[in-house]
Amino acid sequence: MDTDTITAISTPVGEGAIAIVRLSGPEAVEKANLLFHGRNLEQVDSHTMHYGKLVDPKTDELIEEVMVSVMRAPKTFTREDVVEINCHGGLVSVNRVLELVLDQHVRLAEPGEFTKRAFLNGRIDLSQAEAVMDLIRAKTDRAMNVALKQMDGRLSKLIQELRQELLEALAQVEVNIDYPEYDDVEEMTNEVMIENTQKVHRQIGELLQTAKQGKILREGLGTAIVGRPNVGKSSLMNALVHENKAIVTEIPGTTRDVIEEYVNVRGVPLRLIDTAGIRDTEDLVEKIGVERSRQVLNEADLILLVLNYGDELTEEDEKLFEAVQGMDVIVIVNKTDLPQKLDMDRLHHIASEHTIVNTAIIEEQGIDKLESSISDIFFEGDIDTGDMTYVSNVRHVQLLNQAKEALEDAMQGMEVGMPIDIVQIDVRRTWEILGEIVGDSVSDSLLDQLFSQFCLGK
Ligand SMILES: Nc1nc2c(c(=O)[nH]1)N(C=O)[C@@H](CNc1ccc(C(=O)N[C@@H](CCC(=O)O)C(=O)O)cc1)CN2
Ligand SMILES: Nc1nc2c(ncn2[C@@H]2O[C@H](COP(=O)(O)OP(=O)(O)OP(=O)(O)O)[C@@H](O)[C@H]2O)c(=O)[nH]1
Ligand SMILES: [Mg+2]
């Protein structure tokens, strides 16, 4: 297959010490060499770096002072020849270099195209390529570790092992078909089928159980701060993110829109959502805000329900408690610096299943306790990212669910004594679905869609 040579800026936009323009493809070295004054890049050893100047071959104009790395296929990121031009990290500088490279008829890469080539050239499989993206997007150490392991091929290895089990069962069926006259062959076939499908089924189940935590690791624990107007929700948001993100005033109904912010609370990635205080209101804008608050409430993984210690429990508070029934909730009794009006006995009664934390946010009291309650809830029933293989990708979860269902069809078929060559169809389907995770059987359009989500230059 003949491929063209591609290029892109591989470092973030903005000012920095160094920026990199990367080239990959059969003409990478030749094209870079047209611009480079220093050494003859076509003759240097692979995986070496060289100092020199970039000069526009048309005008002989000096463009940049650079360091250039030359990496010959196949031991490179893309398995193709790769050249990396390290230039000064200014917006103008790096764009000049890119334009100069493009002038040599090198094509601008699409987002994710370098990684796509690493996949197409067999250096990594699809789940590893997806992990590259997860790694870049990771918001906590923990999320990064999960991605790093997936990039290293942990998930791929597990999936391939499961596929191998299914393949062995399928091979046994072939033996059965070839030697139908032997009874013990049939017996063995059934045995292998049952044993292997059950084992794979169990392991898929275990993987799916890690998915919920995986999603949280990736996207953050969706944490909604809810409560009546003026109880201190925005103050709480600001205290947790250590920044004045949300507007705080003494006027009830200050927050009108939903405000989102990522924050790392003791290793738990939170997607913290401040909402408009929930109450009946005639104000149109506030009404829309209240509507959004209710929506956020329904979609959250964790609720921080804020009350005012200096005020009585109202009907609206009680309605909120009803709305969050069955969810993970931490009740925050704020403004404990004020004289007590809140009926704590009544509160303990209606919030018996929830953790209750007292705070006086204005005096920075109780935030520590709240943070440890949040991490307790998250780590309860424990998720140890140590040795586990995590599924953290929506596409993988969907495929695992499909694979599980297909296997269940097979298992059910065996139970009711269906002919083995019918059961075999479901097992084969499971094998194929698992193959989509690692990219053994995926369509071009899916690949395009997956890689286009990457950043430019990756
Ligand atoms: N300058 C630079 N730094 C970078 C990258 C890059 O592309 N360029 N990377 C981009 O993400 C990451 C490193 N990832 C890489 C992964 C594999 C290979 C690679 O060449 N693999 C070959 C040979 C390995 C070897 O020599 O043993 C292979 O697997 O065949 C290179 C970089 C982070 N740092
Ligand atoms: N006394 C006291 N006042 C507080 C405390 N925490 C917040 N406040 C004050 O309560 C008022 C309302 O705070 P906000 O954080 O804006 O309340 P909110 O729940 O976001 O209000 P809405 O956005 O209107 O729903 C402000 O004047 C805060 O300074 C506290 O612990 N004690
Ligand atoms: Mg507010």
Ligand 2 cavity residues, CB under 6 Å: 227, 229-235, 248-250, 252-255, 276-277, 334-335, 337-338, 360-362
pLDDT at 82: 98
Q: Answer yes or no: is pLDDT of 212 > 60.
A: yes
Residues 6+ apart with CB under 8 A from 92: none
Ligand 1 cavity residues, CB under 6 Å: 75-77, 84, 123
Q: Answer yes or no: is pLDDT of 105 > 90.
A: yes
Taking the C-alpha atoms of residue 35 and residue 58, their distance in angstroms, rounded to an integer, is 10
Q: What is the mean pLDDT of the chain?
A: 90
Cβ atoms of 166 and 405 closer than 8 Å? no
Residue nearest to atom 7 of ligand 2 (CA): 232
**Stretch (H or E) spanning 123:** none
pLDDT at 86: 98
What's the gap in Å between 129 CA and the centre of ligand 1?
A: 13
What's the gap in Å between 254 CA and the centre of ligand 2?
A: 10
Q: What is the mean pLDDT of residues 331-351?
A: 95
- Angle at CA of residue 307, ends 305 and 310, nearest 5°: 170
pLDDT at 446: 86
What's the gap in Å between 274 CA and the centre of ligand 1?
A: 41
Q: Considering every ligand atom, which ligand is closest to the CA of 135? A: 1
Taking the C-alpha atoms of residue 405 and residue 278, their distance in angstroms, rounded to an integer, is 42
Residue 5 marked as a ligand binder? no
pLDDT at 384: 53
pLDDT at 295: 83
Q: Considering every ligand atom, which ligand is closest to the CA of 277? A: 2
Q: Which of 281, 316, 357, 362 to mutate to test the pocket of ligand 2 (most atoms within 8 A of CB)?
A: 362
Question: SS3 for 21?
Answer: strand
What's the gap in Å between 457 CA and the centre of ligand 1?
A: 14
What's the gap in Å between 274 CA and the centre of ligand 3?
A: 7
Residue 10 marked as a ligand binder? no
Query: Please, is 433 exposed, middle or buried when counting C-beta atoms within 10 Å of its C-beta (0-12, 13-18, 19+)?
Result: buried
Cβ atoms of 274 and 237 closer than 8 Å? yes
What's the gap in Å between 287 CA and the centre of ligand 3?
A: 14
Cβ atoms of 20 and 84 closer than 8 Å? yes
Q: Answer yes or no: is pLDDT of 129 > 90.
A: yes
Cβ atoms of 63 and 97 closer than 8 Å? yes
List, as ranges, residues with CB under 5 A of the ion ligand 3.
233-234, 254-255
pLDDT tens digits, one per residue of 280-314? 777 777 778 778 888 888 889 899 999 999 999 99
Residue 319 marked as a ligand binder? no
What's the gap in Å between 231 CA and the centre of ligand 2?
A: 5
pLDDT tens digits, one per residue of 143-200? 788 889 999 999 999 999 999 999 999 998 888 888 877 778 788 888 889 999 999 9
Q: Considering every ligand atom, which ligand is closest to the CA of 364? A: 2
Task: Residue count of the chain, please give it.
Answer: 458
Q: Answer yes or no: is pLDDT of 64 > 70.
A: yes
Instruction: Give the number of the atom of ligand 2 that is nearest the alpha carbon of residue 251.
Output: 24
For the ranges 146-155, 206-215, 238-247, 414-423, which has the lowest average pLDDT? 206-215
Taking the C-alpha atoms of residue 353 and residue 223, their distance in angstroms, rounded to an integer, is 18
Q: Answer yes or no: is pLDDT of 374 > 80.
A: yes
Residue nearest to atom 10 of ligand 2 (CA): 232
For the ranges 254-268, 334-348, 355-369, which has the lowest average pLDDT? 254-268
Q: What is the mean pLDDT of residues 69-96?
A: 96
- Both tokens of residue 122? 């067999």
- Both tokens of residue 173? 């069926």
Binning pLDDT at 50, 70 and 90, where does residue 67 land? very high
Q: CA separation (Å) from 254 to 31, 228, 300, 419?
A: 59, 11, 22, 68
What percentage of the chain reaches a pLDDT higher than 70? 98
More confident residue, 286 or 103: 103
Instruction: Give the number of the atom of ligand 2 that is nearest the alpha carbon of residue 229.
Output: 25
Residues 6+ apart with CB under 8 A from 389: 149, 150, 154, 155, 158, 207, 210
pTM: 0.71
Q: Considering every ligand atom, which ligand is closest to the CA of 293? A: 2
- What beta strand segments (E) does 309-374 contain? 328-334, 355-358
Q: What is the mean pLDDT of residues 214-241?
A: 89
Q: Which of 7, 22, 77, 79 to mutate to test the pocket of ligand 1 (most atoms within 8 A of CB)?
A: 77
pLDDT at 387: 62
Q: What is the mean pLDDT of residues 80-104?
A: 96
Q: Answer yes or no: is pLDDT of 55 > 80.
A: yes
What's the gap in Å between 230 CA and the centre of ligand 1?
A: 53
Residue 252 marked as a ligand binder? yes
Binning pLDDT at 50, 70 and 90, where does residue 253 land? confident
pLDDT at 7: 97
Q: Which of 235, 288, 296 to mutate to test the pocket of ligand 2 (most atoms within 8 A of CB)?
A: 235
Taking the C-alpha atoms of residue 151 and residue 143, their distance in angstroms, rounded to an integer, is 12
Residue 442 marked as a ligand binder? no
Query: Please, is 64 exposed, middle or buried when counting C-beta atoms within 10 Å of its C-beta (0-12, 13-18, 19+)?
Result: buried
Q: What is the ipTM of this complex?
A: 0.65
Q: Considering every ligand atom, which ligand is closest to the CA of 306? A: 2
pLDDT tens digits, one per residue of 378-431? 776 455 545 667 887 889 999 999 999 999 999 999 999 898 889 999 999 999
pLDDT at 386: 56
